[in-house]
Amino acid sequence: FPDDIGKVQCQKGHGQTTDQLTINTMRKLSEIEIQPIKDRLDSLQIAYLEIYNELLDHYISELEQKSPFDFHQELEHLNETFAWSVVKKMESDLEKNNHKQVAKMQWECLKFWNFSANEAIQFLVFIAILVASFLLKDIEGIFISLSLFSIFGIILALKIHGKGINFSLRVKNQKPVNCISKIILMRLGLIYGCLSWFWVGLSNWGNSTPGTVVTFLGILIASIVFLYIASLIKVSIYFKKPDVSIIPI
């Protein structure tokens, strides 16, 4: 780095220190310098793009303020600062905040007085399907329809939010994904799993009549599940997902 060293030597006579000069003439990291940063972040198996991009940007910003001679020392310092436990705590905090955000968005989506004409029609159509299912196959018919409704939600959410999601069990194949996208898919998958077990239980009921009380409870549970699925689908459609790609350097 002869040019940089020459600049430092020339500026010393004007009362400017080497550190001041480094800050004033911030350099840009080379690909060779960026690669060990990415290797470090990959080794942490970061689950969410938000954290991956934030850490990548922070590493680069900090290291660009250091001279090439201090690069490895500062990199080690950053690695110690953002150890495995620290990063996993960041992921946990992000999940908690985003779960609250998704729940808030779901509640906003259920305010029917804010529905557009198309949304109101779609909502009424789904209710009509559930009523027809009940008339044809009682409580079992409702939960079959809800299971199909949740499958539709999963397919739709995968189409909108599935970019970058890898279902491989190999850790090396897993890539960071958007946190809210993962939460939406996880909730839809969980409700489908619960509905499947509920349907199995109803199927084993046989030809016995559930009775008025059980029928009422079943309809009440089905109504809550329907609103939950409908709100999740609406969130998956209207949530403005940020760019799911890793920050290009």
Regions in the chain scoring below 70 on pLDDT:
1-26, 164-173, 199-211, 240-249
CA dihedral 165, 231, 242, 42 (to 10 degrees): -30
Provide the b/e sequence for 120-129 (b: ≥16 CB within 10 Å). eeebeebeeb
- Residue 122 token pair: 């779609």
Cβ-defined contacts of 241-246 (< 8 Å, 24+): 241/160, 241/161, 241/178, 241/180, 241/181, 242/178, 244/49, 244/163, 244/164, 244/177, 244/178, 244/181, 245/49, 245/164, 246/49, 246/52, 246/53, 246/56, 246/176
> So what's the pLDDT on residue 37?
94
> So what's the pLDDT on residue 66?
87
Report the alpha-carbon distance of residue 221 to residue 227 in Å, rounded.
Answer: 10
3-state secondary structure of 123: helix
> So what's the pLDDT on residue 50?
92
> So what's the pLDDT on residue 231?
92
pLDDT digits (tens, 9 = 90+) for 168-190: 656 566 788 888 888 999 999 88
Nearest to 19 by CA among 66, 60, 58: 66
> So what's the pLDDT on residue 138?
81
Report the alpha-carbon distance of residue 24 to residue 74 in Å, rounded.
Answer: 18
| Distance set, CA 101 to CA 150, 160, 164, 239, 242 (Å) | 21, 18, 22, 11, 15
3-state secondary structure of 67: coil
Phi-psi region of 83 (alpha: psi -120 to 50; beta: other; left: phi over 0): beta
> So what's the pLDDT on residue 232?
92
pLDDT digits (tens, 9 = 90+) for 131-166: 998 888 887 888 888 988 999 998 988 888 877 666
- Residue 6 token pair: 């020459």
Q: What angle do CA 89, 91, 96 make, to 5 degrees?
A: 95
Report the alpha-carbon distance of residue 182 to residue 179 in Å, rounded.
Answer: 5
Locus of tokens 């898919």: 185
> So what's the pLDDT on residue 3?
45
